[in-house]
Amino acid sequence: MAILKCASRTLDLSTTQVMGILNVTPDSFSDGGSLYDQQQLSVDVLLQKATEMVDQGATILDIGGESTRPNAKSVTVQQEMDRVLPALELLVANLDVVISIDTSSAALMTEAAKLGAGMLNDVRALEREGAMSAAAATGLPVCLMHMQGTPQTMQQAPEYQSVTAEVMHYLRNRAKLCEQAGIGAEQIILDPGFGFGKTLEQNLQLLQYTSAFVASGYPVLIGTSRKSMFGQLLARDVADRLAGGLASVAYAVMQGAAIVRVHDVKETVDVVTVIEAVKGQGE
C-alpha cells in the first residue's frame, strides 16, 4: 500500500485520488475570476466551492494564486501570498481534506506549511531559487511538473526529439536532486505537464505512455482537465471539454495514475470509481 504523508493527514495511493482545482486568481484559463466578486476573492464562494468538491469526493484541494496559462501575466510573491494564504487558512479551519499549494515560490511554500498545507505542487519542479531547500524543510510531499519554456513562451513551437523520453529524463533528474536535498523518494510525485510546452501530438504521446511514468516508481499526477488539447482535438470551447477530459482520466487511471487534477470533481470521481472497480475484478 502506497501511503503519502501529507502533514497531519495521509492518502492511500493504491487507488487513484481526485484533486480538485481552486484557482484563487482573476485570470486562470478555465475558471478565472469565478471565485471573485468585484475584484475581491469571495470567502463565501470559495468555501462553498471547496465544500462541494469535498462532498463530491475530492481528497485533495489544490489552491493556486498564479495563473500559468499561456501568456499569463507574472505576479509578485507578495501578490501570490495575499491570494493564497487567506484561502488556505479558511479551508484548513473548515474542511478535513489535504490542501495542496500550487506555487513555485519558496516563501509561500514555507508560510503555507506553517498554516497547515499538506502538499506542494510546483509547475517549475522546484527550479526557482530557494524552492527546493524550502520544500525539503517543510517535510511535505512535492509534485514536480515538466514545462518546456515559461508560461509566456511555452507554446511557441515546442520541440522534442522524443517527448516521452525527454520529459521522463527531466523529471527523474529533478526527483534525484530532490532526494539529495533531503526529500524522501516516497514523498515525490511526477507530473508530465500536459499543455505546458507541448503540441497536441506530444500531449497525446505523453498520455499514451502514462504507464511508463508510473513504472518510474514515483506516483504520477495527471492534469488534463479542460486543456487546449481537447479544444484542438474535438473543436470544443473550454466550457465544453468535460467528455474529453473524462476520457483521458479513464485512460490514465487504467494505466496507474495516482492522482488526477480536475475542475469537475463529481464526474471524475464517478469515472475513477468505475475504473477502480473494474481493475479490482482481476485481484
Catalytic entry in 5, 227, 266, 279: 227
**CA 191, 195, 197, 203 torsion-angle sign:** positive
Residue from 179, 66, 76 nearest 132 by CA: 179
31 near 69, Cβ under 8 Å?
A: no
Give the distance from CA 46 to its chain's centroid. Answer: 18
Q: Is 279 a catalytic residue?
A: no
Catalytic entry in 236, 261, 266, 279: 261
Spatial distance between the Cα atoms of 113 and 39, rounded to a whole number of angstroms: 27
101 near 120, Cβ under 8 Å?
A: yes
User: Which set of grid coordinates corresponds to residue 81?
Assistant: 501570498
Q: Is 261 a catalytic residue?
A: yes
SS3 label, residue 254: helix
User: Which set of grid coordinates corresponds to residue 41?
Assistant: 476573492
In sequence order, what DSSP letters do the residues of 69-85 get, joined into one string? Answer: STTPPP--HHHHHHHHH
Extended strands (E) in the chain: 3-6, 9-12, 17-23, 36-37, 40-41, 60-64, 98-102, 119-122, 142-145, 188-191, 221-222, 259-262
Q: List, in sequence order, the alpha helices (H) in 99-222.
A: 106-114, 131-138, 163-180, 200-208, 210-214
Spatial distance between the Cα atoms of 187 and 178, rounded to a whole number of angstroms: 10
Spatial distance between the Cα atoms of 122 and 135, rounded to a whole number of angstroms: 10
Q: Report the catalytic residues.
A: 227, 261
